[in-house]
Structure 1
Amino acid sequence: MRLLVVEDDPDLNRQITTALTDAGYVVDRAFDGEEGYYLGDSEPYDAVVLDIGLPKMDGISVLEQWRRSGRTMPVLILTARDRWSDKVQGFDAGADDYVAKPFHMEEVLARLRALLRRVAGQATNDFNCGPVRLDARAGRVTVDGNPVKLTSHEYRLLAYLMHQQGKVVSRTELVEHIYDQDFDRDSNTIEVFIGRLRKKLGVEVIQTVRGLGYILQPPTQPAASP
């Protein structure tokens, strides 16, 4: 899953980015409202962490322009202000949730997981596809209860497919959602990661849809004998 952090404080930006990266997300960063607006308007992020008090363009204006242009990704706003009117202004601009500074990083992570679950129509942090289970909170994957060790890219790929379970996902979409903006994006590498992931999982849950991409769905059960 690919996220954008828009925060002008360099230390806080770094802390949030590090925490999200450690949790298995791909993270792009911006340090002012203009840069944040441009990235959010031109890249396909799964969620955004957006500070309200930004230079060049404030966070509320950034969010309002995103929503006016049809950008629907979930947005978690950060604010140093604790007045209810600021929270209302953020929600009216199109925010999905907020965290008031100072905050615990675990709260930011938990709220982002909740936003991503909501978009995927998922009630818990556990994603299941047949015998494959992904615990988004722990960053853990098991098959029939047995742990499977994945690289960061393999985990990101599986996590995105889990969030899109039952939908056909193109190679281009996978590239856009599991690599940051500076990565040398080559859709051919997706085929390599898919092959490795299939081998490690050992079950046929990732199907190739010729000419379109891939779909994650439970293995087909054999028909019962009469």
Structure 2
Amino acid sequence: MELLDPRAGAGRCWCCFVFPEKPRQTGGNLRGTDMAVFCLLCGKRFQAQSALQQHMEVHAGVRSYICSECNRTFPSHTALKRHLRSHTGDHPYECEFCGSCFRDESTLKSHKRIHTGEKPYECNGCGKKFSLKHQLETHYRVHTGEKPFECKLCHQRSRDYSAMIKHLRTHNGASPYQCTICTEYCPSLSSMQKHMKGHKPEEIPPDWRIEKTYLYLCYV
């Protein structure tokens, strides 16, 4: 099957983001033809148009899936389902080397590199290798000078999350999360979620979101 370049105009249906096998099939209804469904922005391929439509919400910044426990929003049902395990404590993925359990398969895959020594992510600036993608992204900021984390209290910026947490503690021991209702600090997102459950529903503003408790901004 010939895959059409998303940048090319021929053979593309702009209404449903479908690329038929041959350009002449674009006339009329595309149902029933042998087709591949692509995202025009990143080229990712899908078997069903409904899956593509959900994927496009990620690019649009739509976060229509809301956690009933903490009101955090997510771009897909899969992301929400993975997040819900932080409330239920479910860790269904077990490491075959050490028995550690994780909430999702991708975290398990990253963890196993500790045992295998695999470092698939290489810096194209200095050649240094890393086992995790976010480690490479953080390291690369040494070369670019980028500091995407900003303190809400004094606007100082940092290259990575851990450096920002250390900085926040210089503000009289401030933790990264602060309750907007009683101003209590919490050291982790999970502890902040538990803290918020201690407030009466009528105390919480209708437009409240867990993101409002963050004492830092992230421009990544």
TM-score, length-scaled by structure 2: 0.22
Compare the two structures and name the one with the higher strand fraction: 1
Compare the two structures and name the one with the higher helix fraction: 1
Which structure's CA Rg is the greater one? 2
Higher relative contact order (CA 8 A, sep 6+): 1
TM-score, length-scaled by structure 1: 0.22
